[in-house]
Structure 1
Amino acid sequence: MSLNPDRLPSSLVLVGAGKMGGSMLEGWLKVGMKPSGVTVIDPRPSDEMARFCIEKGAALNPSHVSAPEVLVLAIKPQMLDEAAPALNGYLGPRTLIISILAGKTIGDLKGRLPAASAIVRAMPNLPASIGRGATGAAVNAEVSEEQRLTADALLSSNGIVEWLPSESLIDAVTAVSGSGPAYVFHLVECLAEAGAAAGLPADLAERLARATVTGAGELLFQSDLPPATLRQNVTSPGGTTAAALEVLMRDPDGLKGLMREAVAAAKRRAEELAG
């Protein structure tokens, strides 16, 4: 992924170096972030993360933390209240906060971090861990265009970034792309089980289902064609695919109805957690 390294911050503090935080850190370094400008704060870092910081030259849990250009919050959301006093001490008047805390609004962060000013709220998803993530992000009024571009450079190191016109859309993003990988994984489970029910050995059905979904996903990634066109391209009139799609596209009992219901349920739960 080609990004302008001039957009990357000269100093960054990452708070929380678990799976997602660690993946983001790897992405930043791959696109040109200088390790000497990175500080990692994690009270219980994994051995792998500790080795990574030593090997790359990033600071891990130093005794003193100067106010950085960017502070990235990647802790568990329920840890925010406990961590808030220390976090507030890391903030300078021009520090940009990038938060990936699910269910914690910009208002929540402002309320717990009195020194906070410019805030980006982002919702990445699991494929960010392999550089193929989809992130929705929103900003508050204090974020300058230069800061937004800095956030874009950081978030884009792990996949695509979609900038939202309003934070109110974050819950819908959570329901679609945030939770979406689980829907795809379940599709593979269901396809494999259906294959076994049709007579295939279970292990063979799973291998075929996995390869089919990952292959279709890669085709979708590489193609500029709309998903509907790709679907039509593999559907011969009166053929086997058409017979299956008659079932899957049977509204409201087909896949479309189920997916709308699933996304709506995820969105409601995101709203409950944010409230």
Structure 2
Amino acid sequence: MIVSKPKLTFIGGGNMATSLIGGLVDKGYPANAITATDPLEASRLKLAQSFGINTSDNNPQACADADVILLAVKPQVMKSVLQGLAGALNHRPLIISIAAGISMDSLAGWLGGELPIVRCMPNTPALVQTGASGLYANSQVSAEQKALAEQILQAVGIVCWLENEADIDVVTAVSGSGPAYYFLVMEIMQRIGEELGLPEEVARQLTLQTALGAARMALESDVDSAELRRRVTSPGGTTQRAIETFESGDLEALFRKAMNGAAERAREMASELAD
């Protein structure tokens, strides 16, 4: 549970901001210490009613006394939003960006100065408080601010600190885009289960529970995933035949190509959005 109560301002009230606010409030963070801004009145009203937080449509005003500002707007509008904030940050609040593809240099340049900034790559399971986030801090971030950033993101899942900003692109390929890989596998497994004769709902439930159970076993086990796979693959059995089929199709090479492609696209986006 978070003990300190610095003032938090979320710029943008979309899904990721909503999940973070919900996680924080659920863990006991005082709602009156949280403000969210959004240009849409309906979004502000929903946030206020759901969590009892403060809302505003005035970004500079909402940031003027904030200890932490969380940037949760679309990457395409980040530049204009940050340029509009530059004059309201003389008190040097901690900036946490959860926008994909915006480099530290771009963030600092648009904000107009050297500020403590943390880049974060969360993923969509944060919406159900089982997220995974990679964080990178610039040299302006103090140890206390790093701890605060970690506490905020831990409200919706696990946090891993990165030593190099370039690793954010790798995190994007592994956990940022990763949920979609698993959704695709689940989609395929359910469809083939139906083709083999299972009713749609039975195939769906068995597929999803199997995915959940496998992930939980891997998280709670004292051995790695490779060893867990070996333990459920009996020689000459059904699982061995399926695994050999995956291996003969070079599944690993396909994943390597896909994840390298995701990391490459993340780097491209950073270049495009810096202009």
Q: Cα distance 1:271–1:187, how it changes in 2: closer, same or farther (>3 A)?
A: same
Question: Match for 2:143 among 142, 145, 150?
Answer: 145
Distance 2:175 2:229 in 1: 20
Q: Aligned residue for 2:65?
A: 67
- Give the conservation status (yes or no) of the 8 Å contact 2:133–2:159: yes
Residue deviations 1:7-60, cap 9 Å, x none? xx411110011011110111112223221111111111545x524424643211
Please point out which of 7, 29, 37 is paired with 2:25.
29
Contact 1:93–1:117 (CA<8 Å) still a contact in 2? no
Equivalent residue number for residue 104 of structure 1: 102
Please give the residue correspondences for 1:177-192 in structure 2 after superposition, counting only pairs within 5 Å. 177-192=175-190
Change in Cα spacing, 1:11 to 1:115, as seen in structure 2 (3 Å) is: farther
Q: Does residue 12 in structure 1 map to residue 5 in structure 2? A: no
Identity of aligned residues (%): 38
Structure 2 residue identity aligned to 1:60? T
1:53 aligns with 2:80: no
More deviation, 223-232/131-140: 223-232
Matches within 5 A, 1:165-184: 165-184=163-182
Counterpart position of 1:156: 154
Instruction: Give the alignment's TM-score, normalised by structure 2.
Output: 0.91
Report the Cα offset of residue 254 of structure 1: 2.5
SS in 2 for 1:60: strand
AA of the residue aligned to 1:226? D
Matched residue, 1:267: 263
Cα deviation digits, residues 60-96 of structure 1 (max 9, x gap): 1065332311000000111112212332233233310
The aligned counterpart of 2:219 is 221
User: Where does residue 199 of structure 1 map in the other structure?
Assistant: 197
Map of 2:92 onto structure 1: 94
String of CA shifts for 1:182-240, please: whole Å, max 9, x gaps.
Answer: 00000011112222333334443333222221222222233333111221221111110
Map residues 98-137 of structure 1 onto 2, 5 A cutoff: 98-137=96-135
Letter in 2 for 1:53: A
Distance 1:68 1:217 in 2: 38
Is 2:126–2:132's contact at 8 Å kept on the other side of the alignment?
yes
Which structure 1 segments of 5+ residues have no match? none
- Higher mean alpha-carbon deviation, 91-100 vs 162-171, is at 91-100
- Counterpart-to-counterpart distance in 1, 2:243 and 2:159: 32
Amino acid at match of 2:180: A
Q: Which amino acid in the other structure matches residue 215 of structure 1?
A: G
Alpha-carbon offset, residue 166 of structure 1: 0.7
Which has the higher mean CA deviation after the structures are superposed, 172-181 or 75-84?
75-84
2:29 counterpart SS class: coil
Structure 1 residues 125 and 148 mapped into 2: Cα distance closer, same or farther (>3 Å)?
A: same
- Asked if 2 retains the 8 angstrom alpha-carbon contact of 1:122 and 1:137, the reply is yes
Provide the C-alpha distance between the structure 2 equivalents of 1:233 and 1:249, rounded to a whole number of angstroms. 17
Q: Could you list the per-position Cα deviations for residues 149-206 of structure 1 after superposition, in whole angstroms to 9, with x for gaps in the alignment?
A: 0101101111000000011100010011000000000001111222233333444333
Q: 1:45 to 1:188 in 2, by over 3 A?
A: farther
Aligned 8 A contact 2:101 2:270 in 1? yes
Q: 1:60 to 1:116 in 2, by over 3 A?
A: farther
- Give distance in 2, aligned partners of 1:118 and 1:45: 30
